[in-house]
């Protein structure tokens, strides 16, 4: 059955979820407070780089299954399910900042009526306990408005997302699982039924368990990466090859081959933020999350590993020119949040180098991130990978975009090349340049 869904927030999670629900046949209202963005979305213009999303969105628009608005009253009154997909950025102390979530609850509570029953679904990653707190909070707002039996007018549900950037549409349409947490099982079943057409494995839980599944999943994947990076660093000293070690481990199905690629660390909008938030939550309940703290500290160190490797061959970078290939936190996205390229470029600049950086899609975001380095004339963003390389003494590969796989070896001659993602074959590279990679002899 087609349902009426509002999605609050048209960022990457909200827009993908809203467009995909509409593609599945539901009637979706996407709400954002940014007028300009809403105007663009109405015309089918996708403001982020996400493969396949424009196609899904234009189909949903032409079928009349999705519309966009800035009007909370309209969105709340014309929907039965209200998904919250607003940002939960990290505060200075690592905790999640719930300002946007709280403000969404307030706006929704303003328009819930005496006869209504609304299902409010948290898609945003919120600290464990937020769902139950939200129930009290929204009920108190309704009570203030004089709404009768406020607890019966809505239910709060947790339905965390597991969408990878660059593969978000695919992950939505073919989920490994759909997790729905609610203290009222019938309502959880209603939310699960929104995904019926996809026939995913469904796990129905209580509220805090669903919230914890999201954090534990991301923390575990981040742990795998820090683990393999630490193994890589040991491999290097002992002459072992981490890529083969990872394969040998991963063929054991209890371990699996995924997320065992050693490199220069993880970035992005989720892993660093979620692990830090989980550490913060654990400390609030007087637990000492030692393992999780190490996941972060190993990662921070790993990001600078390519620079250390470069220094082995060029001990002083003063006045030297260094090319950087890849700035986004991973391929297939223009997202630079927590990208390893940020500390790498800054460290190079701090050591006196002049940096020439290239990325296939992230240059616009890079311009904002590196505004100081650009102003100081220490960094140049170029639109061709060889333009960055030509006049440089060294190259650091930070993001393994497909277009870097193919390389004109002659252009590498005489240079120091640090491959931060083990993209190239050492035996070939060593014929042309001084080659370093991560965890390989």
Residues annotated within a binding site for NAD(+): 32, 37, 88, 125, 165, 273, 337
Q: Between 161 and 211, whose beta carbon lies closer to ligand UDX?
A: 161
Residue 323 main-chain phi, psi, to 5 deg: -90, 140
Q: Least CB distance from residue 117 to ligand UDX, whole Å?
A: 29
**Which residue among 9, 263, 343, 420 contacts ligand UDX (CB under 6 A)?**
263
Site for ligand UDX, residues 148 to 187, rule: CB under 6 A: 161-165
Binding residues for ligand UDX restricted to 404-423, rule: CB under 6 A = none
CA 304 to chain centroid, in Å, comes to: 21
Strand stretches in 123-249, DSSP E:
154-158, 178-181, 202-205
Give the one residue of 38, 128, 260, 355 binding ligand UDX; rule: CB under 6 A: 260
User: How far apart, in whole angstroms, are the C-alpha atoms of residue 395 and residue 306?
Assistant: 10
Alpha carbon distance 302, 369 (integer Å): 20
Query: Does 261 interact with ligand UDX (rule: CB under 6 A)?
Result: yes
Least distance in Å: CB of 184 to ligand UDX? 25
Nearer to ligand UDX, 163 or 307 (CB): 163
CA–centroid distance for 156 within its chain: 24
Report the 10 Å Cβ neighbour count for 126.
22
What are the angstrom distances between the C-alpha of 280 and each of 172, 173, 395? 29, 33, 37
Per-residue x/- marks for ligand UDX, 212-241, CB under 6 A? ------x--x---x----------------
What's the token pair of residue 106?
Answer: 């307030």
Of the pair 317, 336, the CB lying nearest ligand UDX is at 336
Question: Which of 20, 235, 264, 270 is the catalytic position?
Answer: 270
- Smallest gap from Cβ 407 to ligand UDX, in A, equals 20
Nearer to ligand UDX, 131 or 265 (CB): 265
**Measured between alpha carbons, how far is residue 361 from residues 52, 139, 325, 397 in Å?**
16, 45, 12, 15
Interface with ligand UDX: number of residues (CB under 6 A)? 19
Q: Is 270 a catalytic residue?
A: yes
- C-alpha to C-alpha distance for 41 and 68, rounded to whole angstroms: 7
Residues numbered 342 to 401 that lie near ligand UDX (CB under 6 A) are none
Closest CB to ligand UDX among 260 and 389? 260
Contacts of residue 149, Cβ cutoff 8 Å, sequence gap at least 6: none
Tell me the CA distances in angstroms from 170 to 53, 99, 112, one per residue in order. Answer: 10, 30, 34
Region 267-296 residues binding ligand UDX, contact defined as CB under 6 A: 267-268, 270-271
CB 436 within 8 A of CB 312: yes
Stretch that binds ligand UDX, among 40-48, 149-157, 262-270, 354-362 (CB under 6 A): 262-270
Q: Just list the catalytic residues.
A: 270
Instruction: Summarize as ranges the residues that interact with ligand UDX (CB under 6 A).
Output: 161-165, 218, 221, 225, 259-261, 263, 266-268, 270-271, 329-330
């Amino acid at each position: 059955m087609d349902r009426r869904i509002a999605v609050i927030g048209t960022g990457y999670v909200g827009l993908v979820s809203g467009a995909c629900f509409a593609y599945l046949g539901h009637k979706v209202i996407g709400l954002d407070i940014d007028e300009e963005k809403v105007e663009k979305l109405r015309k089918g213009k996708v403001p982020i780089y996400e493969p396949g999303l424009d196609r899904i969105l234009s189909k949903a628009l032409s079928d009349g299954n999705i519309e966009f608005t800035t009007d909370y009253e309209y969105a709340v009154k014309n929907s039965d399910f209200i998904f919250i997909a607003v940002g939960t950025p990290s505060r200075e102390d690592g905790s999640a900042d719930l300002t946007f979530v709280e403000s969404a609850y307030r706006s929704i509570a303003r328009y819930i009526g005496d006869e209504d029953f609304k299902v409010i679904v948290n898609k945003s990653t919120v600290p464990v306990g937020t769902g139950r707190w939200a129930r009290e909070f929204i009920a108190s707002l309704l009570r203030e408005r004089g709404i009768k039996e406020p607890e019966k007018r809505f239910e709060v549900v947790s339905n965390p997302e597991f969408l990878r950037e660059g593969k978000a549409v695919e992950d939505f349409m073919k989920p490994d699982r759909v997790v729905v947490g609610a203290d009222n099982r019938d309502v959880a079943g209603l939310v699960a039924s929104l995904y019926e057409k996809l026939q995913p494995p469904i796990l129905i839980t209580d509220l805090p368990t669903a919230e914890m599944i999201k954090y534990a999943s991301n923390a575990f994947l981040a742990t795998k990466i820090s683990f393999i990076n630490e193994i890589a660093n040991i491999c290097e000293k002992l002459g072992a090859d981490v890529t083969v070690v990872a394969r040998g481990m991963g063929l054991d199905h209890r371990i699996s081959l995924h997320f065992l690629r050693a490199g220069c660390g993880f970035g992005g909008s989720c892993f660093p933020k979620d692990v830090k938030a989980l550490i913060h939550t654990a400390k609030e309940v007087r637990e000492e999350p030692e393992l999780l703290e190490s996941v972060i500290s190993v990662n921070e160190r790993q990001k600078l590993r390519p620079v250390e490797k470069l220094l082995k061959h060029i001990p002083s970078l003063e006045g030297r020119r260094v090319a950087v290939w890849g700035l986004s936190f991973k391929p297939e996205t223009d997202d630079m949040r927590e990208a390893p390229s940020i500390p790498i470029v800054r460290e190079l600049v701090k050591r006196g180098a002049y940096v020439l950086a290239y990325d296939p899609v992230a240059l616009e975001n890079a311009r904002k991130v590196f505004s100081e380095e650009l102003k100081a004339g220490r960094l140049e963003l170029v639109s061709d990978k060889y333009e960055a390389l030509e006049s440089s003494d060294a190259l650091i590969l930070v993001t393994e975009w497909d277009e870097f796989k193919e390389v004109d070896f002659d252009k590498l001659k005489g240079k120091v090349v640090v491959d931060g993602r083990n993209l190239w074959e050492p035996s070939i590279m060593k014929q042309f340049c001084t080659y370093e990679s991560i965890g390989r002899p």
